[in-house]
Structure 1
């Protein structure tokens, strides 16, 4: 039954791709606008003495970021001429990572509610600046009390949150896959791989190291995504890093833009400030880096986004139309084989609150099983 369900989900993912309306490639049109990957410093809430202080710091940070985006908007529109319609923020910008704080304690102190004041504040920024604002935060869910998900979100110029994507592959945090059966019952597969159709194109999100897993970007592209928002906090380098290589690959193999915003360091932790800094970038659908930042707080990773070009490329037959050349049935049975187990945090259908050591134990078990079966 489990195998059948996984095959069904794989089939439904392939079949539910949002098709573009039939039209010759040369007639496909779409908006052109400027987008920016804001490279900003993340602020840890760990030093905050209590929940109230942490929440106040987060709200103050949101206001500060709004002012920074405004200055970026003024410069970009004067420098390049195209209106700035999309700003992408780094991973966990307003809280930093949880560290060794217990999952329930971090959920209480720093994870934001889907209808919380932090989203209201982000909505006001998007409204004030008349743009789409993409970011990443830890978020609670009333269906799973005491837990949180790392959530990539998109706020529309109306101030409404129009997309929530919960990270699916994480080393030390709860994911929807850990609660898979119940999560699907509540949100369905559309809630696992959401794509929002907007006036600036079809948008989706990928969190942090998930850019290294091609299946996640492909799942979004098969549902119509044209621009992939990548919120990250990673080591920057003048040499090509794994994530830099992966961003380019995810772009050209899916014929999609990738907008990747990295932190400009993380303040409030014992880690050296600039350990996660630099290389925010915008990559076009051919895998070309259109703009890339050096280190420090900056908005220098900005560029025009041409959605019409993506649509024309996707509708044109040829060897480089990798998206249309997929033969997904070939891989369904292989992908149905289990590596990381689903439902590791469900007990008789009820969520279990784990310690952080749980995730390491699960990986140890997976590696042992792969060794025993001769896979590695």
Structure 2
């Protein structure tokens, strides 16, 4: 089995949709030029602005953002994890936070709507109520690719291991976690959570993060990562916009699962 290069794109997204899409194309093209076959964008890569503008900024599917992603994947002949973007929801004034998986033919292979919404209040640090403007997703989503089966998730989902256990049970060998993790939570929890999800599920984890400042005023953590099934961090970004790449080795994945068949031993999950 041959290995593959995969890439995570770290961005600073603002409230100018077209500027964000143009920047995303530049960074994805940069990764593709270096040989990446699967490339992942961060959460809310296409637009990030005031909460009061979210409903107006949300895009339907098909629509401007999904069509951009499909064209980009087809142009570069890559598997593209389209980070996430705001998708119009039936609930008045609310949007889904949606991640698309696009194949090299430009077809949508998977659509995941973020299940766990970020409602927290840490005095003096972070206060967010995503549920005021976002709708909950319901479905656990995996999709097959030539590199393996991809399990889709978004940011705050990372704190809920039961989701990833279900993705692994559905055959996922690559766990995508596009994020906009805050600096406050990221400095303490980002790497431990990513490595834990990789180790628990014996899967590759690709986690592109935002690297700017949220509309709520707090800084993003950056430090996008790619982690292997043993929990080794293969690639790690710094604080600014950049692209990181790592090798996905199917033989290493198979060996880890063969030598320590944890999923077969998970008796409480039966």
Q: TM-score, normalised by structure 1?
A: 0.63
Equivalenced residues, count: 254
- Corresponding residue of 1:92: 44
Which of 198, 206, 217 is the equivalent residue of 1:271?
217
Which of 251, 256, 262 is the equivalent residue of 1:322?
262
Preserved contact between residue 59 and residue 121 of structure 1 (Cα < 8 Å): no
Q: Partners in 2 of 1:243 and 1:277 — Cα distance?
A: 9
- Corresponding residue of 1:176: 137
Give RMSD over aligned pairs.
2.2
How far apart are 1:122 and its partner, in Å? 1.4
Q: How do 1:65-76 and structure 2 match up within 5 A? A: 65-74=24-33
How far apart are 1:194 and its partner, in Å? 1.3
- Corresponding residue of 1:40: 11
Which of 38, 62, 79 is the equivalent residue of 2:21?
62
Structure 1 gaps, min length 5 = 1-28, 45-56, 78-82, 178-191, 331-376
Q: Partners in 1 of 2:269 and 2:163 — Cα distance?
A: 17
Which of 91, 101, 111 is the equivalent residue of 1:154?
101
1:324-364 CA-partner distances (Å, limit 9, x unpaired):
2111357xxxxxxxxxxxxxxxxxxxxxxxxxxxxxxxxxx
Q: Which has the higher helix share?
A: 1
- Corresponding residue of 1:13: none
Q: Partners in 1 of 2:159 and 2:194 — Cα distance?
A: 8
How far apart are 1:306 and its partner, in Å? 1.3
Q: How do 1:1-376 and structure 2 match up within 5 A? A: 29=1, 31-44=2-15, 57-74=16-33, 77=34, 83-96=35-48, 99=51, 101=52, 106-107=54-55, 109-134=56-81, 135-141=83-89, 144=91, 146-170=93-117, 171=119, 172-173=130-131, 174-176=135-137, 192-236=139-183, 241-266=188-213, 269=215, 271=217, 275-299=219-243, 301-314=244-257, 316=258, 318=259, 320-329=260-269
How far apart are 1:297 and its partner, in Å? 0.7
Q: Partners in 1 of 2:63 and 2:251 — Cα distance?
A: 36
Preserved contact between residue 27 and residue 242 of structure 2 (Cα < 8 Å): no
How far apart are 1:138 and its partner, in Å? 1.3
Structure 2 gaps, min length 5 = 120-129
Preserved contact between residue 14 and residue 49 of structure 2 (Cα < 8 Å): no
Q: 1:98 to 1:311 in 2, by over 3 A?
A: farther
